[in-house]
Every structure is written in C-alpha cells, then in structure tokens.
Amino acid sequence: MHITPPTLMVYGCSFEQACEIASKHSLRNCEPLPQPVIGLSFQNDADLTMFKLMFAEDIDFERDVAIVLPHHQELVDEYLLESGIGSRVCRYELLGIEFWDTNDLAAFDQAFMSI
C-alpha cells in the first residue's frame, strides 16, 4: 500500500546496513536519510517535561526519548546547552528511513530483525 506523505522510521543500524537490506530485498520505496537522526533519552522527568513543552510541535517522542531530525539538531543543541541539561541527556545516533510503501516497510523490518 502506498503511503503519502512517507512514514519516517528510526533504526539502530548504519546507513550502509540499511542500503544493503534495501538492495538485497529489492526495496524501491524507501530511502535512508543521509544524516543521522538523534535520539535523546532524559534521565530526569522534569527535563523531559521542559523539553516537550519547548519542542512539542517540532519533535516526535517515543516514551521518554525525543527523536530529533537533522534540520532541528542545531536548535536542540542550543537549548540543551543554554538550559544546562545537556549533561543529563543521553544522545544516540540513529538512522532514519522514509518509506512510501507498507510492503517495503514490513520487508525491511523483517530483514532488520534478522541481523
């Protein structure tokens, strides 16, 4: 099934691994983002709450993890520095992949689980 606009999914693999999975399984309706997506995990609930209030419209959240797309990273980094909470936040580099087809998404997920 075709998806418009594309769905962004986030994975803990490298750009090269994602391209290899897409190539091996002939997935044509997906595109890994060339820059990493940053996952921010908050150790303090108050920090998470303040961050959500500041960025609720621009950033997606999965439980206590903020998913920061490349075009928001500079603004987020400035906020973490100015607010003084940067030392209490764990930062993870993740790979974002845009999918335009649910079949490609399902195939990628299945292949990803087997690596």
Per-residue pLDDT at 3:
79
Residue 83: other Cβ atoms inside 10 A:
14
User: How buried is 68 (Cβ within 10 angstroms: 0-12 exposed, 13-18 middle, 19+ buried)?
Assistant: buried
Backbone phi, then psi, for 10, in 5-degree steps? -120, 135
Tokens encoding 55: 């960025």
Q: Is the pLDDT of residue 83 over 90?
A: yes
Question: What integer best gives the mean pLDDT of the chain?
Answer: 94
Average pLDDT of the segment spanning 71-96: 95
57, 27, 43, 52: which is closest to 86 by C-alpha? 43
> Residue for token digits 């996952």?
39
Q: How confident is the model at residue 1 (pLDDT cuts 50, 70, 90)?
A: confident
Per-residue pLDDT at 23:
95
Per residue in 18-60, pLDDT (tens digit) is: 999 999 999 999 999 989 999 999 999 999 999 999 998 889 9
Q: How confident is the model at residue 115 (pLDDT cuts 50, 70, 90)?
A: confident
45, 12, 22, 13: which is closest to 101 by C-alpha? 22
Q: Is the pLDDT of residue 63 over 90?
A: no
